[in-house]
Structure 1
Amino acid sequence: MRRAVEARARHLGFDAIRVTRPDAVPELVERLPAWLAAGHHGGMAWMEDRADQRADPLTLWPQVRSVVMLGMNYGPETDPLDLLGQRDRGAIAAYAQRRDYHDVLKGKLKELGGYLSAKGDVRVKVFVDTAPVMEKPLAAAAGLGWQGKHTVLVSRTLGNWLLLGAIYTSADFAPDDPETDHCGSCRRCLDICPTNAFPAPYALNARRCISYLTIEHEGPIGREFRTAIGNRIFGCDDCLAVCPWNKFAVTAGEGRMAARADLVSPPLAELARLDDAAFRLRFAGTPIKRTGRDRFLRNVLIAIGNSGEPALAAEAERCLSDPSALVRAMAVWALGRLSGTAALRGLFNVHALGEMDEDVRAEWREALDQAGNTAA
């Protein structure tokens, strides 16, 4: 039966399939609570919810006997690091340049799960990053790859570019051997991180991670991180892209996981003008839509502030009257970086005197203080 399931998975477009036991990663029972207790999950409160089920698949579903882990390649067509030099354009993480992987994988997992259930008269449950399932440790235990020092799964054949899905089943399959860690002494992924998000190898502090800050974090991004964000407007591929194991990877190419051309390096000026309806239309079917327009424009305005392009100041100025306080606050920060002292004070007199939001007022105070110090 397993061979038939593997053949079906390949037919559906999965690039890797391996099996592990539900109790294959017993150390999660201690490791996950320690990570949460340290606050490294930041504002992702959902990580705390049902933490016992994340750490132990048998707690989530006592009937599970095997965990089928599947991977789909989303290897980018070009080096994501090349986007960072295009300061007037936004850099979007490679996975988000494509159709939302939740939609792509979930439908295929359901089809494969149905096939398995019918083939073997067994029960199944399918998961794609929306349930209390620790996909990366389970994928490593199944032998899809190993968790690198940046905590991302690394494959010897597909590099860092794997989207993961899981099928819990009551079928009793023989487990595969876990993959050996092949990182060796390399620490490129740790050293390239712009915000020092790795307190130690194999440990991630999400509160400092650009992917977390630009996607999951809800409010203003701390000033200490804004310059380091550069033009990354949704996620960050630095630690993935620098991994030497990518030399064995292949691009996803055309078809199911092909990148959308308009999302590879979109102009910041164009993105800064999106209202909610235009945002929803442009990013329909992508992971970006789930973050919401206001947080996305927050990121775009930070990138504008980092661009060094005075011509983009007009786009930030337009956002000073935005309905969202979060957008207005980041517009002020961007203008503080791009405008001269006199221009900034003129904008303050027009836009700030009636401002009621304290975060926006604080940005104005900081921008004017910095402008005064620069002038002095």
Structure 2
Amino acid sequence: MTDNGYRALVRRPAGPDGCSLVDVAVLDTPALEPGDLLLAPLVAGICGTDWQILRGDRPDDSPVLGHEGIARVVVGSKAFAPGDIVTVNPTHPTDPGFLLGHNVAGLWAERTRIPASVVNAGLVVSVPSSAANDVLIGALAEPLASAIYGLEIAMAVFEDTPRSLVVWGDGIVGQLAAAVWRQAMPETEQLIVGRNRDSHNCIAADDPDLPSRLAALRGPVSAVLATPRSATVTALTTLDSHIDHALTVDVHGGLDSGPVSLRSGEVDVAAVRAANCGGLSSVPVAKTLQRAGAGPLRLFGHRGVSNAHLRAAIGALTENAATFASLLTQVTDLEGAAELINGVLQSGNRCHDGRRVLKAAIRLEGAAA
């Protein structure tokens, strides 16, 4: 904090390459309406979706990103007192006008305003005070909650326990998904499609052996598409083309709306993905597609998570910190985060100081003010 406002990572206008670099800038403390909360973020995560926004792959226009983190309440309301430690469920299940760090200012800042409508909707979640500076919880609770939500839906919609699981993408969401599935179904064989080729169960998306590896999987098969927006359709159509067993696919990664050509015909997969939002439905929605000469394809996806998913993730990170510690690859402050983000965007290489940026967390110095 300064005498005149608070510091934040603020996006510059997009350059010729479409990328938005960031600067540490001082912003005026936001004016509050009755019932609003003013938060002091303590830890904030840098998410794969944030990278997509910064690269210009998504149209989100918030000048301050950040939808994952832990914060301290500075100005409270009836439900929350100053000093309370909270996290914010970033996706409003019924109001598209609130998507934290996407279309409203996010947590990459020393202060963040949360509107009363969001507080009243129950999207501000109490966190144990012992977790106030826990970088694992701050950076990983929301993506882990999303992986838990995906597994929950899968277990509700598949008819038989899968003998094989394909996780397409070995970024943070892919690795968290692999971990929660491994814990829930240790007998299910996993194949990871990604960059890491150090294990027999990992293969690159452009490996010529991938089609035969997919065809040889024992069925039934489930899959999690932990893909960037640009790769989701290719991943889905590849699985659909080469796996004849009954196949259940969690379309975790985003994609543009419109028809996708599958063996069963054209399907608006983005609409299927959006049918589950924030854990609202007690009966998860999936679409079953019959495929000639092959087992059925069951498609589902989800947006956001419920508060229960967030609490489950916080509990898992608290109880099993050692399991997840290696996934947090960088911890830095605001200035260091600007250097990391701009370096990755300018180089086009997801590395910083010689280490892959799998998941980074920002500690906010101003949060103690």
TM-score, length-scaled by structure 1: 0.23
Bigger share in strand:
2
* Structure (1 or 2) with the greater helix fraction: 1
State the TM-score, normalizing by the size of structure 2.
0.24
